[in-house]
């Protein structure tokens, strides 16, 4: 342990040691003996700060995801919301493969109360990216449904790839799934076929514009009363479902 590490408080040293052991050797490397030796503390100190080793795992996993979420939130956006969503997917996969054991801890038991808040923060960032796509008139399903689909698919791809040795992974798996999901939830824009243009199927044109207006309703809080906004939201949800997507409950 370096002199700088020795200047840290015991809890921080324990967290740093456990995080490094998890990253370098996996969950089996994070033992009471290994952590206490690396942190320069006695084993009872771990239990005093974290209750037990599972409590320590919980904090390590949460902190690892929190750092990633902060870095993701700080990344500048471009003028292309779909491309930003694509980059967000790639960042999510890269994070999971860089921290496979922490990712597995978070997502193998996603109902655990210890993980709900930090996972929710990551999903909120994803939802912001999806909302930008909706506001641009390029989303064919409502924001909540698109967010759920992308999050579920990205998590599944990450867990699948993490379980395969790096040399045996299909390098196109993530890209193929990403593009399939984007094709399912977004509408491409081009000079020849603008979003919601006259050549698009009628139901799709209605759905795309309904989703876009639904995403922008928060900008009209001074125009409509709460009851009117709720009624309009319900109508827009029904119109968004007209393209054949199951209605998302609100």
Quick one: pLDDT at residue 80?
Answer: 95
Over the chain, what is the mean pLDDT? 81
pTM exceeds 0.75 for this model: no
Tell which wins on pLDDT, 130 or 65: 130
**93-131 residue pLDDT tens:** 999 998 898 888 888 765 456 677 778 888 999 999 999
Residue 219 clears pLDDT 80, i.e. is over it: no
Residue 209 clears pLDDT 70, i.e. is over it: no
Tell which wins on pLDDT, 6 or 95: 95
Tell which wins on pLDDT, 225 or 218: 225
Quick one: pLDDT at residue 5?
Answer: 60
Tell which wins on pLDDT, 186 or 244: 186
Quick one: pLDDT at residue 115?
Answer: 74
Report the percent of the chain where pLDDT is more than 70. Answer: 76
Residue 233 clears pLDDT 50, i.e. is over it: yes
User: What's the mean pLDDT in 173-198?
Assistant: 75
Quick one: pLDDT at residue 116?
Answer: 77
User: What's the mean pLDDT in 156-177?
Assistant: 94
Quick one: pLDDT at residue 176?
Answer: 95
Residue 162 clears pLDDT 90, i.e. is over it: yes
Gap between the Cα atoms of 94 and 46, Å rounded: 31
Going by pLDDT thresholds of 50, 70 and 90, the confidence category of residue 160 is very high
Gap between the Cα atoms of 175 and 89, Å rounded: 9
Residue 10 clears pLDDT 70, i.e. is over it: yes
Going by pLDDT thresholds of 50, 70 and 90, the confidence category of residue 152 is very high
Quick one: pLDDT at residue 85?
Answer: 95
């Amino acid at each position: 342990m370096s002199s700088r590490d020795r200047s840290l408080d015991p809890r921080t040293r324990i967290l740093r040691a456990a995080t490094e052991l998890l990253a370098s050797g996996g969950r089996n490397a994070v033992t009471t003996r290994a952590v206490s030796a690396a942190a320069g503390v006695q084993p009872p100190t771990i239990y005093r700060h974290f209750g037990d080793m599972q409590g320590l795992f919980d904090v390590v996993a949460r902190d690892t995801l929190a750092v990633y979420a902060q870095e993701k939130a700080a990344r500048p956006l471009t003028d292309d919301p779909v491309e930003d969503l694509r980059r967000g997917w790639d960042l999510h996969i890269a994070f999971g493969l860089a921290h496979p054991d922490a990712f597995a801890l978070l997502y193998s038991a996603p109902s655990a109360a210890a993980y709900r808040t930090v996972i929710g923060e990551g999903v909120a960032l994803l939802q912001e990216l999806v909302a930008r796509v909706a506001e641009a008139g390029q989303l064919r399903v409502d924001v909540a449904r698109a967010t759920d689909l992308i999050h579920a698919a990205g998590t599944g791809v990450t867990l699948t790839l993490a379980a395969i040795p790096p040399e045996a992974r299909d390098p196109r798996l993530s890209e193929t799934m990403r593009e399939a999901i984007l094709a399912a939830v977004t509408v491409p824009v081009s000079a020849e076929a603008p979003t919601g243009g006259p050549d698009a199927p009628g139901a799709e044109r209605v759905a795309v514009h309904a989703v876009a207006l639904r995403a922008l309703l928060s900008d009209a809080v001074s125009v409509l009363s709460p009851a009117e906004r709720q009624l309009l939201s319900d109508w827009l949800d029904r119109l968004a479902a007209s393209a054949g997507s199951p209605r998302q409950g609100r």
